[in-house]
Amino acid sequence: MNERLVTMLLPALSGSSAPAFNVFDVMHHGTHEKQLSNVFAWLLDRDGSHGLGSHFQDILVDAVNRHRASGTEIASGSFSVRQEVNVSGPDEPMDIADLVLEDDDTRLVIENYYTSDGHGHSYKRYLNYATLSGKQGVVVMLCARVNSAFLSGGWEKAAVVSYPDLIAPLTELIEGDARYRRTHPDQVAFLRHLHHRFVKDRTVNDHDMIQFIDAMCSSGQAKHYRTQSVEAAAVNFADSLRDRAHDQFGESRALLQRVKAALKNHASRHLVPQLAQVLGPDRVTEASANYAGIYQWTVNFAVAGREGDGEAPLQLKFGPSAWWANESDQSWQKVVTDPDYSRLFLTHRSTQEIRQSAVTLQEVLDGLAADDHRLRDELVNLLNGVD
């Protein structure tokens, strides 16, 4: 297996393997169009128990106007909502639209399907029904995924609206309304699950999968796709990937320990004396590296007039310890927004600040020169609050 494959695949594999609780997953809801049509019909009902009034209707009308190929803009109104409406004319085979919205002037006929595919429904019948009695009629294709290749038989003329087009602005609305969240906590919880299931945490992320395929091809592992049995190919690839990942993870821990030993040695022999020359002999007195767990890739400096609550006031961090401090430890208020974890990081407990060093892990492994003053200058600037 290509040595770089595990590294190349990490971005695509970065999602948590532990599934988060979501009511739609537990109930297997949303796997059939009728189930989601029920949810949308509830949201579109102005008098529904959601307590949103006509807000979701307004969101739908706005999305339809944005995605129509042509035609007069639809005005927001007070639409009635019906489900499972037969749009066929006399002597025509039955054709059931999932949702119909109607007011005095306008009729929206909606086909809801996972992909943007008419899947046998007649666009012409939908349009004829939408324009009955001279009303402004619009055919809407509502879908989880938009794929223009599936739009044929007239459906390419429909207003194609995706679930995120509706759910994302709905979420923005409720998250920006503290009063609604306070008075409708159950509805808010449900709508957040809706957002996570169909917008934020979609089961398949196209961008990540493209990264995955690129990594497979670039590393020579695309050969697994030739196996006809998908399950067998997946198992064989997973086995080889597991073995390679196991080896690389073990080797990476050994490298971290080498960096730690080299950095501790440099700090004790050269960096502490360098700091003493600038700050005075009693300001920074010693360097240590005695932490464990996620904190173990840290070199601590003892500072006169000890600051903090048991935590070393001045530190050099790298690798997992730097990642934990910068990404997960809420005690740090000033963090690095675009971190490069191939470099060292500096922390100051008093100001709750993390900074990224110019010094790389490779340079530490190669051996920092006794007259290399970069870390000294960076630590002095951090202590003095100089950017």
What tens-digit pLDDT sequence spans the chain (387 residues)? 556 666 666 665 555 455 667 888 777 655 567 788 999 999 999 999 999 999 999 999 999 999 988 778 899 889 999 999 999 988 899 999 999 999 999 999 999 998 888 989 999 999 999 999 999 999 999 998 888 888 999 999 999 999 999 999 999 999 999 999 999 999 999 999 999 888 865 555 566 667 777 777 877 777 777 776 766 777 777 777 777 777 778 888 899 999 999 999 999 999 999 999 998 888 888 899 999 899 999 999 988 765 444 567 899 999 999 999 998 888 888 999 889 999 999 999 888 899 999 999 999 999 999 999 999 999 999 988 887
Q: How far apart are CA 253 and CA 235, in angstroms?
A: 27
Structure tokens at 256: 């971290």
Label residue 308 exposed, middle or buried (CB < 10 Å: 0-12, 13-18, 19+).
middle
- How far out from the chain centre does Cα 334 lie? 22
DSSP structural state of residue 370: T
Q: How far apart are CA 210 and CA 216, in angstroms?
A: 10
Structure tokens at 382: 């951090």
Domain locations in the chain? 23-200, 256-384
Judge whether 16 and 219 are in contact, CB under 8 Å. no
Q: What is the CA radius of gyration of the chain?
A: 30
Q: How far apart are CA 275 and CA 281, in angstroms?
A: 8
Element (H, E) at 166: helix 163-175
Fold of 23-200: Trna Endonuclease; Chain: A, domain 1 (3.40.1350)
